Copies of this chain bind each other. A is one copy, B any other.
Amino acid sequence: MRAGCASCGLWRVCFPGLVASAAEQRLNGLRIRRIRVAGGKTLYRSGDKVESFYMIRSGCIKELDDAHGRDGAVVNFGLPGEMLSLQCLGPSVSNTTSVAVEASFLCVVPWDTFSELGMDSPRVAAEFIRLIARSGMAARELLTLIRDREALERVSGFLLNVSARLQSRGVRGREFRLAMNRDDIANYLGLRSETVSRCFTELARRNLIRVRAKWVQIMNSADLRKVYLNA
């Protein structure tokens, strides 16, 4: 189950901005592992020492924050082409629990070999700082999504967000399957599953989307955005 990165179709996706120079040559020596995680299985738990970071090739991984005694609150859904455990680079222990929402394939990159590479390459170090800063920004975006907006706006924003992230990775963004169930979405958005359901129904009634179970089709992305922005 080992292979060089060059054979990976997600290469440019996994290492945005890093694709260039001599670094590319050396990354093949990193011994990246590929693993499969069954749906419902835990990748790592909060408090675990994390010695590698993860790139999602397919599937969906939910990150849970079980800090305050509550049963894991979803703080992020990792989609194909996105990274996990970046924020562990600093403290080296994870502050989230990552669980596969559905069967997923991942690449596992050990920190140590990667950080060696970073040592003599300021560009790689800068890239990592950028990636970590971005993961912090994502948390802030979710914050503003759920703090200032009501249910229908949150659900619209969620759909647009997933759509945009899929599209930016080259996947179809107009019609897709939500891997997670209603409870996970509700948890993520600070709502109840019934409310999420009602919002889906309402958006469908307005002909902005089409829903059947986990399948979502965005019919009118412009007006959906208006709902999101409350405009």
Contacts and interface: CB of A to CB of B under 8 A. Distances in A.
A144 B229 contact: no
B140 A89 contact: no
Nearest to A231: B69
A146 interface: yes
Contacts of A130: 90-91
A23 interface: no
Given A122-B119, A130-B90, A68 B136 contact: no
A137 interface: yes
A8 interface: no
Contacts of A136: 87, 132-133, 135-136, 139
Contacts of A143: 75, 139, 142-143, 146
13 contacts: A67-B144, A69-B229, A75-B143, A87-B136, A89-B133, A90-B130, A90-B131, A90-B132, A91-B133, A125-B125, A132-B136, A139-B139, A139-B143
